[in-house]
Amino acid sequence: MGSVRRIVEPRRRGHLNAARAERILARIRAVPEGFVSTYGDVDPHAPRMVGQVLAMTSERVPWHRIVRADGTVAKGERQLRLLRREGVPMRGSRIDLGRARFMQRPVHR
């Protein structure tokens, strides 16, 4: 696989293995241009794990399309610039989640 540099065992909410990391990356890749998903949309059971996977991956994924539940961004102006370029609806420096949120099918375990 090679997309995750190392395997991490979070203190809570499950174990991050290569298969789980790949499922998270697949859900991130599924977010279309002009839309966003929240960390919790990607994995409702472990939104912090989504951030871990994004931090560890060497793959090119649309990381900028993953935002916080309140519509703010984790990576500041760089992330906002990329989202604006894609035409993502904003309200000031927050994403208008009512218009921009891409809802995926629920994760089944």
Domain boundaries, the chain: 18-100
Give me the chain's average pLDDT, please: 88
Query: pTM of the prediction?
Result: 0.83
pLDDT of residue 104: 84
What is the pLDDT confidence band of residue 70, given thresholds at 50, 70 and 90? very high
- Percent residues over pLDDT 70 in the chain: 83
Do residues 52 and 39 lie in contact, with contact meaning Cβ atoms separated by under 8 Å?
no
Beta bridge partners of 16: none
CATH 1.10.10.10 fits 18-100, yes or no: yes
Contact (Cβ atoms closer than 8 angstroms) between residue 90 and residue 75: no
How much is the pLDDT for 109? 57
**Which backbone phi and psi does 48 adopt, to 5 degrees?**
-65, -30
Instruction: Count how many Cα atoms sit within 13 Å of the Cα of residue 51 in the half-sphere of its side chain.
Output: 13
Q: Is residue 94 scored above 70 in pLDDT? A: yes
